[in-house]
Structure 1
Amino acid sequence: MAQPNELLAQWSVSHGNLRRFFEDLALPPIGEEHQRAAGEAAAAAAIQETFGLDLEEFTLGVDSVGGAFETAGRPELTPRDPDVPQDVGAAAFFDVDNTLIQGSSLILLAEELAKRRYISLRELLPALTKQIRYRVSGKESADDIASGREQALSLVKGKSVAELQELCKDIVDRQMLDKAYQATIELASMHIAAGQQVWLVSATPVQIGQALAERLGFTGALGTVAEEEDGVFTGRLVGDILHGPGKQHAVAALAAIQQLDLEKCTAYSDSINDLPMLEMVGAPVAINPDRALRKHAKERGWPVRDYRSMRRMVRSYLLPAAALAGAALSIRHRRR
Structure 2
Amino acid sequence: MTCKPVALWAVPRSVSTALERVFVERGDFEVFHEPFSVSYYYSPSRRSDRFAGTEPKEEYEPNEVLARLLGRRGKPVFLKDMASHVAGFMSRKFVSEFTNTFIIREPAPVIASIYGFWPDFTFEEAGYEQQHRLFGLAVENGEDPAVVDASDLTANPEGTIRAYCEKLGVPFMPEALSWEPGTVPGWEMWSEWHREAQESTGIKDQPLEDDTEVPAGLEDVYERCLPYYEELYERSSVRPARLVPTRSWYSVVVVALVLYDLDNTLLAGDSEHAWCEFLVDAGVLDGEDARAENERLYGEYEAGTLDIHESLKFQLEPLIKHPPEALRRWRKEFMSSRIEPMITDAAVDLVEGHRDAGGDLAIVTASNSFVSEPIADRFGIPSLLSVELEHHQHRYTGRVLGTPTFREGKVKRLVEWMRKTGRNLAGSHFYTDSHNDLPLLELVDNPVAVNPDPVLGAHAEAREWPVLRLDGGASGRPA
| TM-score normalised by length of structure 2 | 0.45
Which residue in the other structure is 2:388 paired with?
A: 225
Which residue in the other structure is 2:469 paired with?
A: 306
Q: Over the residues paired in the alignment, what is the CA RMSD in angstroms?
A: 3.0
Cα distance in 2, alignment partners of residues 76 and 297 from structure 1: 38
Cα distance in 2, alignment partners of residues 161 and 83 from structure 1: 37
Which of residues 278, 296, 299 in structure 1 aligns to 2:459?
296
Are the aligned partners of 1:222 and 1:250 in contact in 2 as well (CA < 8 Å)?
yes
Change (3 A) 1:116 1:183: same
Are the aligned partners of 2:372 and 2:386 in contact in 1 as well (CA < 8 Å)?
yes
Are the aligned partners of 1:93 and 1:198 in contact in 2 as well (CA < 8 Å)?
yes
Cα distance in 1, alignment partners of residues 446 and 244 from structure 2: 26
Which of residues 350, 355, 363 in structure 2 aligns to 1:192?
355
Q: Deviations over 1:171-191 (max 9, x none)?
A: 223321221232222121122
Are the aligned partners of 2:277 and 2:291 in contact in 1 as well (CA < 8 Å)?
no
Cα distance in 2, alignment partners of residues 108 and 72 from structure 1: 32
Change (3 A) 1:259 1:167: farther
Q: In the alignment, does 2:436 pair up with 1:273? A: yes
Which residue in the other structure is 1:329 paired with?
A: none
Shift of 1:269: 0.2
Q: In the alignment, does 2:425 pair up with 1:262? A: yes
Shift of 1:76: 7.4
1:301 maps to a residue whose letter is E
Q: In the alignment, does 2:373 pair up with 1:210? A: yes
Which of residues 307, 319, 323 in structure 2 aligns to 1:160?
323
Cα distance in 1, alignment partners of residues 296 and 389 from structure 2: 20
The count of residues paired between Structure 1 and Structure 2 equals 240
Which of residues 304, 312, 328 in structure 2 aligns to 1:140?
304
Are the aligned partners of 1:224 and 1:242 in contact in 2 as well (CA < 8 Å)?
yes
Change (3 A) 1:306 1:71: farther
Shift of 1:156: 2.6
Are the aligned partners of 1:107 and 1:131 in contact in 2 as well (CA < 8 Å)?
no
Change (3 A) 1:123 1:236: farther
Which of residues 80, 84, 101 in structure 1 aligns to 2:240?
80
**What is the correspondence of 1:50-199 to structure 2 with a 5 Å cutoff?**
73-74=233-234, 80=240, 84=245, 87-121=253-287, 124-125=290-291, 127-134=293-300, 138-143=302-307, 145-199=308-362
Are the aligned partners of 1:263 and 1:282 in contact in 2 as well (CA < 8 Å)?
yes
Change (3 A) 1:163 1:148: same
Moved more, 89-98 or 74-83: 74-83
Give the match's secondary structure for 1:102: coil
Change (3 A) 1:169 1:258: farther
1:96 maps to a residue whose letter is L
Which residue in the other structure is 1:250 paired with?
A: 413
Cα distance in 2, alignment partners of residues 234 and 142 from structure 1: 22
Cα distance in 2, alignment partners of residues 305 and 72 from structure 1: 39
2:394 maps to a residue whose letter is G
Change (3 A) 1:204 1:123: farther
| More helix per residue | 1
Which residue in the other structure is 1:46 paired with?
A: none
Q: In the alignment, does 2:399 pair up with 1:236? A: yes
Are the aligned partners of 2:280 and 2:287 in contact in 1 as well (CA < 8 Å)?
yes
Cα distance in 1, alignment partners of residues 404 and 292 from structure 2: 18
Change (3 A) 1:297 1:104: same
Structure 1 segments of 4+ aligned residues over 4 angstroms from their partners: 69-72, 74-79, 81-87
| TM-score normalised by length of structure 1 | 0.63
Which residue in the other structure is 2:17 paired with?
A: none
- Of structures 1 and 2, the one scoring higher in RCO (CA 8 A, sep 6+) is 1
Cα distance in 1, alignment partners of residues 272 and 373 from structure 2: 14
Which residue in the other structure is 1:30 paired with?
A: none
Shift of 1:113: 2.2
Shift of 1:103: 1.7
Shift of 1:124: 2.4
Which residue in the other structure is 1:284 paired with?
A: 447
Shift of 1:211: 0.5
Change (3 A) 1:70 1:171: same
Cα distance in 2, alignment partners of residues 84 and 211 from structure 1: 28
Give the match's secondary structure for 1:185: helix
Change (3 A) 1:187 1:218: same
